[in-house]
Amino acid sequence: MATSGQERFWQTVRAWLAGADVMARYATPGEEDPEALLSRAQQEMRELHARNRDRAVRAITQKNNLQQIVDDTQKRIETLQEKAELAARRGEEEMAGKFRAEAATFAEVLEQSRQSLAQAVEASEAIKEAIRREEQRLRLKTSQAMALRTQWKALQLQQELVRVARASRAETADGTLPRERGHALLSQAVRQRDELGELTERTWREVESLREKAILARDQGREETERALLREMEQAEAALVTMRDALAQAVEVTSRAGEYLAGNLPAASVAYLEAVGADHAAEAEPEDPASYALLIGFALLLAALALGALWLLL
């Protein structure tokens, strides 16, 4: 029986507290690997670029060939008309009639070529629009995968920060404190938080760009293009909401991790987290209700980042 989304969420949170080895047992192979998601999205983008180049080259080549046919046919007609006029001035009516008949035949070819050229131009524009939509969809997918990877890495960093904070409280066997390691991890968490902020800003700009293009398409009476742009904007807005939530969580969790590392959270919380990590949560209940409430709040903050990362996967 498949595990429900809610069960998977709590399993992942408990696995996060217990350690990466436990998390690996709970994870579905390939499904919860942000690196694999990002790699797949980037590969799809490269393949799409290659296909689109071929499509664009074929469309442009066909259009250019038809344009050349139209130009050559037009010149041929003009030459035949000049010959007909010259023959008429010389009194060679029969020859002039032949030139006019041949020019009329080419005129029919010219009309057909112009119609084909118009269709080729329209098809070329449609291909360019389709390519733009496909690449926009892949860019959005890649951005989401990058956001997911950033959240996941931040989650792993927070796990390591908890370990360092525990060691900082107890000191190691030789009396040294892993403070430098903790602060280095915290700096990484801050950088990843900032990376998520940049992704959020980029997605917001994309939403605004799509909004402006949709308004322009509406003003120009291009209803189909407007609808397509609005659909893309809705998808981008949905991603933006998720990214903003994840960013807010990353800011909060990073801040709390800094406090945790600095020793501003009660020792009872650390002891309880260690008990949860050892899968003995049932036996470990803090005696102080206030400490217990603070523990729950902190655990929920830690779980928030996992929720953000799993939201796109559940």
Over the stretch 16-58, which tens digit does the pLDDT of each residue have? 334 444 334 334 444 456 667 667 766 776 777 777 778 778 8
Classify the C-alpha dihedral 282-286-290-296 as positive or negative.
Answer: negative
CB 131 within 8 A of CB 56: yes
Q: What is the pLDDT of residues 171-192, one digit of tens each?
A: 544 444 456 666 776 777 788 7
Tally of CB atoms within 10 A around 264: 9
Instruction: Give the confidence band of 70 by pLDDT, cuts at 50, 70, 90.
Output: very high
The model carries a pTM of 0.44
Please report, as a single letter, which amino acid is at residue 257: A
Can you tell me which residue has the tokens 């000191």?
Answer: 171
Return the structure tokens found at 4: 């429900």
Closest by alpha carbon to 243, among 299, 204, 206, 301?
Answer: 204
Q: Which pLDDT score is estimated for 256?
A: 67
Query: In terms of residues, how long is the chain?
Result: 314
Confidence at 242, pLDDT banded by 50, 70, 90: confident
CA distance 21 to 136: 37
